[in-house]
Amino acid sequence: MKYKKILVVDDEQDLCEILLYNLTAAGYQAEAAYTGETAWEKIVNGKCFDLLILDVMMPGMTGFELAEKLKSNPKTSKLPIIFLTAKDAEDDTLQGFELGADDYITKPFSVREVVARVKAVLARSQSSTIKESIISFKGLVLDLSKKTTMVDGQSVSLTKTEFELLGFLMQHRGQVFSRQQIFDAVWPEDVVVSDRTVDVNITRMRKKIDHYGNCIVSRQGFGYLFEE
């Protein structure tokens, strides 16, 4: 059984300990970060979490600022977030959801309520992941679990990099990504590549997917996107 990993981010250490104890008792793996900066370092340095419980008001980097950084990074943009806050102003709640929050809990709260909300958000996230295992646009179909590519009913052989590159652009269709953002999303962190590497892989991949290659569009000075 794979235990879900949860990161609790709050400058109140006593509150973190209470949440860690109860989340662990509920069957999750949980750890804490007492600042937004520490949480960011944990995540960008390779620690994988299934959900973030994030306090809004913290000294230094606020919860909103951390969430904005995570949602703008292709590698962490889908990380589920539950905001914790002592505020109950409607504007704060709206700002949280606009930043991509999956839920919002106002302090003081019941620990049982938090655990229940965590369970619900993780269930929704897992359901969404299953649905997203197939990416398609007309006759262009990628099966992310089987790692197969079909073009109008015909199987096409893509390299691992080409497959992940195409999948990334199709999952974020209509959104322009710079070469650096594509590096971060597709290539391993310990690999050094040049701008030309992205261009070469996109050129090869375009040819392999036939007329759907026209959907991979370059925006000069900005980057690439998958355009319907």
Q: What is the pLDDT along the chain (228 residues), one digit of tens a residue?
A: 467 899 999 999 999 999 999 999 999 999 999 999 999 999 888 778 999 999 988 999 999 999 999 988 877 888 899 998 876 655 666 666 677 778 888 888 889 989 999 999 888 876 555 556 788 899 999 988 889 999 999 999 999 999 999 999 998 888 899 988 888 888 876 666 676 888 999 999 999 999 999 999 999 888 999 998
Residue pair 53/22 in contact (Cβ under 8 Å)? The answer is no
DSSP code string of 78-102: T--EEEEES---HHHHHHHHHTT-S
pLDDT on residue 193: 66
Distance CA 224, CA 179 (A): 8
pLDDT on residue 75: 77
CA atoms within 13 A on the CB side of 63: 29
Distance CA 79, CA 100 (A): 9
Residue pair 131/168 in contact (Cβ under 8 Å)? The answer is no
User: Which sign does the torsion angle of CA 39, 41, 47, 51 carry?
Assistant: positive
pLDDT on residue 1: 46
Distance of alpha carbon 140 from the chain centroid:
23
Longest dimension (CA), the chain: 58
Distance CA 163, CA 156 (A): 10
Query: CB within 8 A of 8, min separation 6: which ones?
Result: 16, 19, 20, 23, 30, 31, 32, 33, 53
pLDDT on residue 183: 84
- Residue 176 backbone phi and psi in degrees, to 5: -85, 135
pLDDT on residue 138: 92
Distance CA 149, CA 171 (A): 14
Distance CA 54, CA 121 (A): 14
* CA-only gyration radius of the chain, Å: 20
Give me the torsion for CA of 213, 216, 219, 223, rounded to 10°: -130
Distance CA 131, CA 141 (A): 13
- Sheet containing strand 134-137, strands side by side: 134-137, 140-143, 148-151, 154-156
Per the structure block, which two tokens stand in for 90? 């409607």
CA atoms within 13 A on the CB side of 39: 32
Whether pTM > 0.75 for this model: the answer is no
Q: Which one-letter amino acid corresponds to residue 147?
A: K
